[in-house]
Structure 1
Amino acid sequence: MGGEATPDGMQHLLGRAKWEADQVRDDLREYVVEHLHDDQAVLVVDETGDVKKGTGTAGVQRQYTGTAGRIENAQVAVYLVYAGRRGHAAVDRELYVPRSWTSDPDRCRAAGLGGETPFATKPELAARMVARFLDAGHQAAWVAGDEVYGGNPKLRDALEKRGAGYILAVACSHEVATGVGKFRADTLAKKVPKRAWQKIFAGAGAKGHRFYDWAVIDLADPRPGSRQLLIRRNRSTGELAYYRCYSPTPVPLTTLVRVAGSRWRVEEFFQSGKGLAALDEHQVRRYASWSRWVTLAMLVHAFLAVVRADEHARRPARDALIPLTCNEIQRLFIALVIQPVHDVAHRLGWSAWRRRHQARSQASHYQRQAAQA
């Protein structure tokens, strides 16, 4: 990578070199907030999984991962994405360590996690990252997330105590209190009159502008602040989605819709982070190496996002061109900076290293087969 003749330098950087991934994460957070600053930015939280083989990789177990769309042997991490008008980038990450690991101190120590690693749910990891962001002196007007986070009352309470507004998805069976009693979300949706639905733009998506029908219901709560159940209806299929909303002061429906529509930013980060910055291509087992790899991948993605934002601000695209994208910036960077240093000897050297590595793996495999026989 980066013009090196062998992977030895990268392996040293991830495993033996002395540097703190958390300090780089903190610097990354400052870099993103400085260059993508937005007073109405949304912190979007979500998890993603990487399918793995074996049982030695930190945090791996059979669990559901949206990457595969099913239960697989996978490693799952929760990410926090800063999303503003200029762009978006991840600013924090936490590895999800299942109970099967935290109840086994020896296994944790072998993977570099520490024998006293406590179990934390995904919403608890999300709360930890949001608190870290706010404790660093930054402001976040809103937090958004899917049903994993919206259905957790402890996370909602923690956000309210910090004065952070939120729009978190909840299941159709989620119960909320109104002025006339407690109801399931889908039951309340059936009571919404036709005139209460409003067609509102929810942001640009991969396939164009996204318009949905929206309705909002005020919730009963004696505590300070404004709380609602937001309902989204697909204009083509009629499918409904539900969100728990909180803000320190009342806000218009258009604001709630804008924040709810920003949740796709984390999905875009996962896609571009994996496709452009190799977020999911770590072949490491120990926790320290994992945290270093994903932090560096986040930094690469943030660099692309900041360059894109700066280019859009300084050099608006001509009518015949679409605005410069992160994908195109990466292509230009590789073509103009990386590839020129890759001569024939460099490429042949990597070919020889790969074949040598494969020969060792093959010999080791045959030896294990022979020993078992």
Structure 2
Amino acid sequence: MTHSDQEAACSATIAGGFEARFAELAGLLAPVFSRRDLRSNAMAYLRALLMPGVSGNCWALAQAVGHERPYRFQHLLSGAVWDEDAVRDAVRGFVARHLGEGGVLIFDETGDLKKGQATAGTGRQYTGTAGRIENAIVAVYAGYATAHGHALVDRELYVQAEWFADPERMRAAGFPDEHAFATKGQLARDQARRALDGGLAPAWGAGDEVYGRSSELREEFEQRGVGYVFAVGADFRITTSGHQKMRADQAIGLVEPPGWNRRSCGNGSKGRRLYDWAWIATASKRHHLLIRRKISNPSELAYYIAYVPEHYVCSLTDLIKVAGARWAIEDDFQDAKQSVGLDETQVRCYRAWKRHTALALAAYALLAVASILAKAAHPAPVLPDDPDRRAAPADCGMTALTVPEIQRLLTMTSVQRTSANQNIAFHLRWSDWRRRHQARARWHHYRARLALTA
């Protein structure tokens, strides 16, 4: 077999595997769209979202899939009869099937900056997208992560209390009359209920301080017999095993120098995420306070409340890994925004937002699962084991196929060649170069981190 034949076979394998997954998800979604034309439009919308560089408005999406006008997609989001929550549930089932049981259900929010005031949920509020208070919409998302990979499985728009004081504005934005105010913690609790009732089987929950301070969310996990490791603020109050009541930041005084344990909470793109950790027992034998200390700056601290159900057997290392799993949803936000336009809704009404994001979750799930399957068949990465070694090996291998790389390859295999030089083999060689370059950069990042912590 020639090199060109091998490249063509690689391209066919990638495209064929993805089409099989697309057909699988399309089968799960088929009952949601009772009419053939509606089902066709929904699948076309999915295809458009999967095309890189296509804006999230219906004009650009419709043009990308060859529609003469945007009206079919506009009707799909705003006027057609279908249940967007059933799409969400089908996506969750699809993700659960490929990621398996015993993972971590993760909660976080992300924003979408807006200029006007008409879009459902718009208001001045803090969003990590900008890193400050801006005019934006903010939504709470649930992600699911296992050792195989991770994807997004739920979403809900956060609506500030001021909206509910203006019923006319609520109606104009398309909110149903029964829509009630809910905190971000309550939205996460509802998502946890849907996930657990819908067959997802996580072993743990995780999230930042916004969710750690929600007693309702924590109680939901405890009542379901599911563990959690949530970040909490320095002012979070605990009762120690010695029956002393104190703030989390006061509990650090209980940690003796031997009580700090250097552990990794997961691998990042630049190496292991190493911190010093302390484990403090509380008056409840099932609850523990974790304190994380940055190695390079010991004054930088973070606090976590952990719940370990009675039937669990776990170590400090296990709890630290759950705490570190929270970063998976940040990767999901980045990839889903860049790849399928998760934050490019360009719609104003609440239902249209829910429908676009449901279909964006479906498109992202397809790419995430394709990446997971590719990773499972990929050789183990070449990583340094000696901090004194300066030169990288001659061959650092290649990184596994990521969501953005899979999207590029899928587009390349589905579009018609534009010239003799712009063919499939040409694009595959570029993909090969990128992944080898990334693998070499990864080796150097890991070596630098290894040297710092040696």
Provide TM-score, normalisation by structure 1: 0.87
The structure 1 residue matched to 2:412, chosen from 321, 335, 339, is: 335
- How do 1:1-373 residues align onto structure 2 when only pairs under 5 Å count? 1=61, 2-5=64-67, 6-39=69-102, 41-178=103-240, 179-221=242-284, 226-238=286-298, 239-249=300-310, 251-316=314-379, 320-337=397-414, 339-340=415-416
How far 1:231 sits from its partner (Å)?
0.8
- 1:315 & 1:9 partners in 2: Cα distance? 40
- 1:210 & 1:230 partners in 2: Cα distance? 16
- 1:102 & 1:152 partners in 2: Cα distance? 22
Aligned-partner SS, 2:416 = helix
* Kept in 2: contact 1:317–1:323 (CA 8 A): no
* Kept in 2: contact 1:106–1:115 (CA 8 A): no
Letter in 2 for 1:336: T
Letter in 2 for 1:160: E
* Kept in 2: contact 1:3–1:342 (CA 8 A): no
- 1:340 & 1:293 partners in 2: Cα distance? 28
Q: How many residue pairs get matched?
A: 338
Aligned-partner SS, 1:242 = strand
- 1:216 & 1:342 partners in 2: Cα distance? 60
* Kept in 1: contact 2:378–2:400 (CA 8 A): no
Question: 1:166-214 CA distances to partner (integer Å, 9 max, x unpaired)?
Answer: 1010111211111231111111113201101111121111322111111
When structure 1 is superposed on structure 2, of 10-19 and 135-144 the one drifting more is 10-19
Aligned-partner SS, 1:186 = coil
Change in Cα spacing, 1:317 to 1:332, as seen in structure 2 (3 Å) is farther
* Kept in 1: contact 2:292–2:302 (CA 8 A): yes
Question: 1:94-140 CA distances to partner (integer Å, 9 max, x unpaired)?
Answer: 11111111222221111111123211000000000001111113322
Aligned-partner SS, 2:249 = helix
Letter in 2 for 1:247: V
* Kept in 2: contact 1:213–1:235 (CA 8 A): yes
How far 1:320 sits from its partner (Å)?
2.4
How far 1:314 sits from its partner (Å)?
3.4
- 1:16 & 1:153 partners in 2: Cα distance? 39
Letter in 1 for 2:400: P
Aligned-partner SS, 1:29 = helix
- 1:170 & 1:188 partners in 2: Cα distance? 13
* Kept in 2: contact 1:146–1:168 (CA 8 A): yes
Structure 2 gaps of 5+ residues are 1-60, 382-395, 420-454
When structure 1 is superposed on structure 2, of 103-112 and 252-261 the one drifting more is 103-112
- 1:242 & 1:340 partners in 2: Cα distance? 53
* Kept in 1: contact 2:125–2:135 (CA 8 A): yes
Aligned-partner SS, 1:71 = strand
Structure 1 gaps of 5+ residues are 344-373
Letter in 1 for 2:187: L
- 1:148 & 1:77 partners in 2: Cα distance? 13
Quote the RMSD (CA, aligned, Å).
Answer: 1.8
Identity %, equivalent residues: 48
Change in Cα spacing, 1:268 to 1:286, as seen in structure 2 (3 Å) is same
Letter in 1 for 2:409: L
